[in-house]
């Protein structure tokens, strides 16, 4: 029998997304962001995490969703992708969920194309909810970024 997997979950515009716990370095409240001139629109800017400069990617923009009403209410999910640390800006952080591997399914065709491109699959949860598994490498891939 396959080992259950644990996911750090978060919400972006009421969409429940998750990253495997082992891929998450830390979760932080809003951090002051320094804008980067001429950067791709989804790059919110740079944050200073204890002396380490990290690119902050706004998942709302990356997923072609409407902007957040109050930008300083976002949370940072900090992850390491190919030896590069990236922060994903999300609306709120959920719980750590444990899911059974046999509940993993392909992304439904009803999910919009942009979101489907960024997730590797879904887990069915109780209460008719879906946990979409964020493919962090694809979500971090920007024009000129080889993460």
Burial 12-31 (b: 16+ CB within 10 A, else e): beebbbbbeeeebeeeeeeb
**What string of pLDDT tens digits covers the 147 residues of the chain?**
678 899 999 999 999 999 999 999 999 998 999 999 999 999 999 999 999 999 999 999 999 999 888 767 789 999 999 889 999 999 999 999 999 988 899 999 999 999 999 999 999 998 888 999 999 999 998 644 444
Has domain 5-140 been given CATH number 2.40.50.180? yes
pLDDT 10s digits, 123-133: 999 888 899 99
58: which 2 tokens? 């706004």
- Residue 104 pLDDT: 92
pLDDT 10s digits, 44-68: 999 999 999 999 999 999 999 998 8
Rounded distance between C-alpha atoms, residue 22 and residue 2, angstroms: 17
- Residue 82 pLDDT: 85
**How do the domains of the chain map onto residue ranges?**
5-140
Edge-to-edge, what's the strand order for the sheet holding 15-20? Answer: 92-99, 5-12, 15-20, 129-134, 119-125, 104-105
Contact between residue 24 and residue 17 where contact means Cβ atoms under 8 Å apart:
no
Half-sphere exposure of 138 (CA within 13 A, CB side): 13
Global pTM reads 0.90
Length of the chain: 147
């Amino acid at each position: 029998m396959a080992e259950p997997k644990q996911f750090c979950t978060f919400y972006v515009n009421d969409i429940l997304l998750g990253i495997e716990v082992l891929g998450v370095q830390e979760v932080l409240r809003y951090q002051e962001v320094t804008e980067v001139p001429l950067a791709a629109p989804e790059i919110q800017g740079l944050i200073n995490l204890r002396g380490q400069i990290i690119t902050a990617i706004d998942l709302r923009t990356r997923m072609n969703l409407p902007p957040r009403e109050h930008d300083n209410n976002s949370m940072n999910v900090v992850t390491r992708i190919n030896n590069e640390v990236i922060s994903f800006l999300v609306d709120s952080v959920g719980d750590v969920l444990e899911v059974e591997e046999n509940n993993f399914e392909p992304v439904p065709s009803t999910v919009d194309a942009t979101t489907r491109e960024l997730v590797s699959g879904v887990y069915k949860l109780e209460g008719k909810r879906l946990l979409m598994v964020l493919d962090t490498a694809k979500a971090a891939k920007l024009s000129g970024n080889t993460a």
